[in-house]
Chain A
Amino acid sequence: MPWELISPILLLVVWQALAMLFPGRLFPTPIAVAQQIWTATVSGKLLADMAKTLTRAGIAFAISMGIGIAIGIVLGRIRLADRLFSTWVIIGLNLPAIVIAIVLYIWLGLTEVALILAVIVNKVPLVIATIREGVRSFSRDYDELARAYRMPLGRRLRLIFVPQLTPYVLAAARTGLSLIWKIVLVFEVLGSDGGVGFRISEFFQFFDIKGILAYTTAFILVVLVFEYGIMRPLERSAVKWRTDRS
C-alpha cells in the first residue's frame, strides 16, 4: 500500500484515540464528524457553501497568478523596475492579511469584490517574489543559443522561456494555493454572506465543534483532491524530462 494512503489512515486512528480521551461535545469522533458531513451534504448546505468558497478562491487564484507572473517577469528581467518596486514587494509580503481585509471592507463594504480583492492583494506579492527569482535564475547560455540561431520570439518563449519558468509557476501556485485556502476562510469569517468560513463562524457562535470539524474536514478533502488530482500530475508532467529512464 502506498505511503500516501497509509498517512490519512494513521491520522484517523490518532484522531479516534484522542476523541476517546475527551467528551464527545468537545472532541467528536471521526465517525460522528463523517455523519455530520453526510447530513450537511444531503441538505445541500455544505455543497452550496463549498461552491461559494471555491469560486472565491478560484477567481482570486487565477487573477493573482496572472498579475503576479506578469509583474514577476518584468521585475526579473528589468533591473530598474526591480529597484523601483522591490520595496513594494517586501511591504506586500509583510502586510498582515487581516489589515488588508479590514481596510478593503471599510472602503468597499462587505462585498464579494472586497473579499476577493483582499485575497488577491495578499497573494500577488508572493507570486511576484517567486517568479522574479525564477526569471533571475534563467540561463544566459540558452539566450545565447536562441540569438545565435535567430530563433523567433514565439519559439524562444515556447521552447526556452516557458520551460525554465514552469517550475517557478508551479511553486508559486502551490504556496499560493495553501495561502489562499487559509485566508479565504478567515476573510469569510470576517465578513461574507456564505461560504465555508462564514458557516464555521456560525458554528463557533453555538460552540458546535462537530459542525466546525465537519466543514473543515470536507474542505481539507477538497484541498487533497486538488493536490493529488491536479497539482501533482501537473508537476510530474512539467518535470517529466528529469525522470531517469536509464
Chain B
Amino acid sequence: MADGPQLNIDIVAKRFAVLPVPLMVDLHLEVAAASVVALVGPSGVGKSTLLRMIAGIDTDFAGTIVIDGVPAATAPPAGFVFQDARLLPWLTAEANIRAVREATTPAEARDLLGRVGLAGYENAYPHELSGGMQRRVALARAFSVNPRLLLLDEPFVSLDRHLVTEVQQVFLDLVRDTSATVVLVTHLPEDAARLADRAILLTGQPARIIADIVLPGLRGTRGAAEISRLIDEIALPSSETAL
C-alpha cells in the first residue's frame, strides 16, 4: 500500500459561540506522509476539535486543511477512533466493522477482530463486551477502511494499564502494515513517546504550538521524559471546557 498522505493544516481562526476567545488562531502545521504525530496538551485546548476538523466532520472554521492536495472535507475517509468506542449498539461487533465500509467482507471483518484479539466475538453486541473490548472493535473498524490516514482521539484512555500495552501493541502492528499517516491525540506524554515519531505540544487559548519534538521513533522512551519535562516547565493550564 502507498504511504499515507501529507497534511497541511493552516487554520486562520476556529471559534465557538460559547467561548469568549477563539479556540485557535493562526495555527499552522505540516504532517509528513507516513509519519505518526501526537498532539499533546491539556484538556480543552482543542486537540479533539482539530482532529474533527482534519476528519472533515467540523468544517466551520476559517482556513484550510489539505490532505495530499485535497480539502479535508472531500478527502477519502480516514480511519477514526473516537474518545468513546462509539459502536452502534444494535449491531454486532462484526456488523459494526462492516457498517462503515460496504465492501468489507465478513471474512475481512473477522480477520480484523482476530488481529485485535477478539476472535470468536463476531456476534457479540457492544453491551456484551467490556470497555476495552469495545475500544478494540473501534480500532478494528478504523483499520477496516484501509486507511491512508488514521485519526485517533485518546484511544487508550480509561483502559486498564495492562490492556493499554496490549492494545497499543496491536495498534503499532497495524500501523506498520498500513504505512498510514497517523495523528494521535493524547494527554499522556508516555503514549506520545511510545507511539509517535513526533509530538506537537499545544496550549493556551487560543491554542498555540509551544513545542514540536522529533521523537526517536516508535517505542522510544527518551521522548516521554522530554515531553513530561516540557509540560512541567510551562505548567500547562487545564481548561474546564471539554472540546
Contact of B91 among A150, A159, A242 (CB under 8 A): A159
A149 engages B101 (CB within 8 Å): yes
B57 engages A144 (CB within 8 Å): yes
| Neighbouring B residues of A144 by C-beta, 8 Å | 52, 57, 82, 86
Q: Is A244 an interface residue (CB 8 A)?
A: yes
Q: Which residue of the partner chain B has the closest CB to A155?
A: B102
B125 engages A241 (CB within 8 Å): yes
| Neighbouring A residues of B78 by C-beta, 8 Å | 148
| Neighbouring A residues of B82 by C-beta, 8 Å | 141, 144-145
Contact of A149 among B52, B89, B100, B125 (CB under 8 A): B100
Q: Which residue of the partner chain B has the closest CB to A156?
A: B99
Indicate the size class of the contact surface on chain A: 10 to 19
- Compute the total of residue contacts between A and B using a CB distance below 8 Å: 54
What is the bound-complex CA distance between A160 and B91, given in angstroms?
A: 10
Whether A145 touches B76, Cβ cut-off 8 Å, given contacts A151-B100, A155-B102, A159-B91, is no
Contact of A148 among B57, B91, B102, B127 (CB under 8 A): B57
What is the bound-complex CA distance between A149 and B52, given in angstroms?
A: 12
| Neighbouring B residues of A244 by C-beta, 8 Å | 127-128
Mask: chain A, 144-176; 1 = CB below 8 Å from B; 0 = not? 110111110001000110010000000000000
Q: Is A83 an interface residue (CB 8 A)?
A: no
B77 engages A148 (CB within 8 Å): yes
B52 engages A150 (CB within 8 Å): no
What is the bound-complex CA distance between A163 and B57, given in angstroms?
A: 22
What is the bound-complex CA distance between A148 and B91, given in angstroms?
A: 18
Q: Is A246 an interface residue (CB 8 A)?
A: yes
Residues of B within 8 A of A (CB): 52, 55-57, 76-78, 80, 82, 84, 86, 88-91, 99-102, 125, 127-128, 145, 151
Residues of A within 8 A of B (CB): 141-142, 144-145, 147-151, 155, 159-160, 163, 241-242, 244-246
Q: List 7 A-B contacts (CB under 8 A).
A: A144-B52, A149-B145, A150-B76, A163-B88, A241-B90, A241-B125, A241-B127
Using A155-B102, A242-B89 as known contacts, list a sample of 11 further A-B pairs with CB atoms less than 8 Å apart, ordered by residue number in A.
A141-B82, A142-B88, A145-B80, A145-B82, A145-B86, A148-B56, A159-B88, A163-B88, A163-B90, A241-B91, A241-B125
